[in-house]
Amino acid sequence: MSFEPLPDVDSFVASVSFGAGGLVPVIAQQWDSGEVLMMAWMDESALRDTIATGSATYFSRSRQSRWVKGETSGHVQRVRDIRIDCDGDTILLLVDQTGAACHTGDRTCFEHVGAR
């Protein structure tokens, strides 16, 4: 499996139902192990950059700015596949995560609740 540029980026982007603030939630999943790594948000610009570069690019709601995942940490996400759900309002990225997905240094951002 390898990431191929979408045949028609404009029609795909137009099919995405961006919600409040022009954002769509994006689930990042490690393509081979199936680990759900994190959830973040994209605006249209971040989505287009993700497609153009093959490197997951998100929009930070707290900083109100675009960020390339791993730009400072090196923990980049190379996109292997892009999927969208039946309502067009959630994106699933299959990625190859370098190092830790979480800023805490953990592989994924999710932890078992029972262990809290």
Chain residues that interact with a copy of itself, rule: CB under 8 A: 4, 6-7, 11-12, 15, 20, 25, 27, 29, 33-36, 38-39, 81-87, 90, 92, 102-104, 106, 109-114, 116
Give 76 or 93: the residue with its C-beta nearer to a copy of itself.
93
Give 26 or 76: the residue with its C-beta nearer to a copy of itself.
26
Least distance CB 35 / a copy of itself (angstroms): 7
Look at the block and give the residue holding tokens 């153009």: 52
Least distance CB 36 / a copy of itself (angstroms): 6
Q: How far is CA 84 from CA 13, 23, 54, 74, 115, in A?
A: 11, 14, 16, 27, 32
- Spatial CB neighbours of 95, under 8 Å, sequence gap ≥ 6: 28, 29, 30, 31, 37, 56, 77, 78, 79, 80
Q: How far apart, in whole angstroms, are the C-alpha atoms of residue 23 and residue 47? A: 10
Q: Which two tokens stand for residue 24?
A: 């769509």
Give 7 or 74: the residue with its C-beta nearer to a copy of itself.
7
Least distance CB 88 / a copy of itself (angstroms): 10
Q: How far apart, in whole angstroms, are the C-alpha atoms of residue 81 and residue 27? A: 12
Give 31 or 76: the residue with its C-beta nearer to a copy of itself.
31
